[in-house]
Amino acid sequence: MNFMVTIVTFMVFFIEAMLHYNIGINRGKSLSNFNLKFPEFLDLIKIIIILAFFSTINGIMISYIGETGH
């Protein structure tokens, strides 16, 4: 498995997930009232678990594709 791909994927998708979360909780607010915050602890743990799972799958797939030369 390509650990660097897994880590970079996790970091990029974590930032994306936090942006999506904040867009959702600020729905209907104007930009002047837009507040950035982290989810509550248990929700953050769920997000991290899901991101870790799919980042690992991505790392495995990239390694496999690299080995097969496709």
- Predicted local distance difference test score (pLDDT) of residue 65: 86
C-alpha to C-alpha distance for 5 and 54, rounded to whole angstroms:
12
24-28, 39-43, 58-62, 65-69: least confidently modelled range: 65-69
C-alpha to C-alpha distance for 63 and 6, rounded to whole angstroms:
10
> What is the rounded (10 degree) CA torsion for 32, 33, 38, 39?
-150
pLDDT in tens, 16-51: 999 999 999 999 888 888 889 999 999 999 999 999
Closest CA to 13 of 69, 65, 63, 56: 56
Amino acid at 56: T
- Predicted local distance difference test score (pLDDT) of residue 43: 96
> pTM, whole model, 2 decimals?
0.79
Q: How confident is the model at residue 70 (pLDDT cuts 50, 70, 90)?
A: low
> What is the rounded (10 degree) CA torsion for 12, 44, 53, 5?
20
